[in-house]
Amino acid sequence: MDNKTTIFLLFLLNFGIGSAQNNQPIHLKECLRIGIEKNYGIQIARNEEEISRNNNTLGNAGFLPSIDLSGGASSTDKKVKRVSEGEEEETFHNVNDKGINAEIGLTWTIFDGMKMQASRSKLRELETIGQLNTRISIEGLMSEIVVAYNNHIFQLQKLRNMEASVNLSKERVRIVKARYQIGAMSHLELKQAQVDLNSDMSKYITQKEALSHATVNLNKLLTNEPVDAPLTLTDSIISLLPNMDLETLRREAERSNADLMLAASNRKLTRQELRIVRSEYYPYLRVNAGYGYDKSLSEISSTRESRKLGFDYGVTIGMNLFNGLDTRRKARNSRIEIDNAELAEKNIQLELDALLSSLYLSYTNNLELKEMENQNLVIAQEYYDTAIDKYKLGSLSGLELREAQVSLLDAEERLLLSEYNIKLCEVSLKQISGKIGEYLEE
């Protein structure tokens, strides 16, 4: 790669960054708001929640009566043979009988072994589960957005560090070229400086691609189109929250973790299912009432026309005596499902506790690493400043200067990585403790 190509690529890359920065800056809270409002997965979860809310009615639980309206008309055309007591036989052809009826009827279950009450409790629990599923979807999306937002910052900071490294390599090439022209340096030294510059340029271009991927990912979470549209964030550094306490996080997780609350709701749901099954052991009582009209016409009957109009009502009581032990089977399975739900809840509690401890260990370790890398960066910067001064005086070789430059870049990247890892742990800890929504309050 010659010098002209290097300069041209630098121009394109710098122009690309400058163009992105012309966009209106967007804050993390705004990203979260847009994502929650527009994300398709959240819209689906909210629709499912609305379905569970619509299902939670007295009618769906069986408390309300059923009222039906029916009506009909009939006509017959037939041959009738009639024999009287005196053995006289009469035959009638094309006898036409007609009938008309209409009725409104009510059926109301008064008692069904407490099945209605259990069904109502089940529907309430299903509505709660719908709300929790929506909350889990929103919290998951918020976690992804916060991570993607900070990953964009991380990749952009890496790009700027690499840009600075490219500038350092360009300065080295300038120094070597000037000294080469006066015979103070060899042609080999000049070629080595150019090779190192091209190497930094290659890393710079690769890092620009990584930044583009981070932009696409964040746009996708925000449902922005086109997904490769450049983004400018208001934050230029990864912002870390004050240090968190493990015991506080545990208490908040026990009280507010959505997955744990969902497991508890599923356990309650299985208990209502058992109540519904047990209702089959009890009798049922139903009230029936109706008001109807019935008219019939007959050509050969002694009653040529009859009409009925009025109420009819009654009570039905019944009880299943034997259904092949099916109720017993369902009751046994329901008890097993209750045990499974309780075991699942305990397992989720154990997994959350283990994940919380593991994440907190990573969190504290990266906090220590960050302090150490801060010190390393100061030392690496001082080392490079001393090296470049000696290099300008000719008392340091190009390889030694390159080593100082690489050490400085590595120190910057390690510090960035430790900050990014702290943020990843922080987001996960907030999500587990049920406090991810606090990012909307910052």
Strands 66-83 and 89-111, by their bridges, are antiparallel
Q: Domain 3-38+112-283+319-440 falls in which CATH fold?
A: Outer membrane efflux proteins (OEP) (1.20.1600)
The pLDDT of residue 7: 38
Return the closest-CA partner of residue 104 out of 313, 305, 374. Answer: 313
CATH of domain 62-111+284-318: 2.20.200
CA dist., res. 139 & res. 430, Å (int)? 10
- pLDDT above 60: residue 8: no
- Give pLDDT, residue 74: 78
d(C-alpha 143, C-alpha 140), whole Å: 5
Q: Is the pLDDT of residue 364 over 70?
A: yes
What per-residue string of b and e applies to 317-335 under the rule 16 or more CB within 10 Å gives b?
eeeeeeeeeebeebbeebe
> What is the Cα–Cα distance from 232 to 2, expressed in whole angstroms?
32
Residue 17: per-residue pLDDT: 39
Across 12-21, 126-135, 265-274, least confident range: 12-21
According to DSSP, the residues that pair with 100 across neighbouring strands are 73, 295
Flag whether pLDDT at 315 surpasses 70.
yes
Can 3-38+112-283+319-440 and 62-111+284-318 be said to share one CATH topology?
Answer: no
Quickly tell me which residue has 């909307």 as its tokens.
Answer: 440
Assess contact for 428 and 143: CB atoms under 8 A: yes
The type of residue at 369 is L
pLDDT at 183: 78
pLDDT in tens, 384-425: 999 988 888 888 888 888 899 999 999 999 999 999 999 999
pLDDT band at residue 95, thresholds of 50, 70 and 90? low
Calpha distance 105→288 (Å, rounded): 7
Share of the chain above pLDDT 70, in %: 88
- Among the listed ranges 9-13, 34-38, 218-222, 239-243, which one has the minimum average pLDDT value? 9-13
Residues 6 or more apart whose Cβ sits within 8 Å of residue 373? 411, 414, 415, 418
The sign one gets for the Cα dihedral 167, 168, 169, 171 is: positive
Over 50: is that where the pLDDT of 442 sits?
yes
Average pLDDT, the chain: 88
Q: Within 10 Å of residue 203's Cβ, how many Cβ atoms?
A: 16
Indicate if the pLDDT at residue 345 is higher than 50: yes
Quote the tokens at residue 323.
Answer: 């259904």
Q: Could you tell me the residue ranges of all domains in the chain?
A: 3-38+112-283+319-440, 62-111+284-318
**pTM of this prediction?**
0.84
**Rounded Cα distance, 391 and 385, in Å:** 10
Give tens-digit pLDDT for 167-190. Answer: 999 988 898 888 888 877 788 888
Token pair, residue 134, equals 């929506």
Bigger pLDDT: 43 or 10?
Answer: 43
**Distance between CA atoms of 75 and 97, rounded to whole angstroms?**
6
CA distance 147 to 215: 12
Q: What pLDDT is attached to residue 10?
A: 39
Decide if pLDDT at 263 tops 70: yes
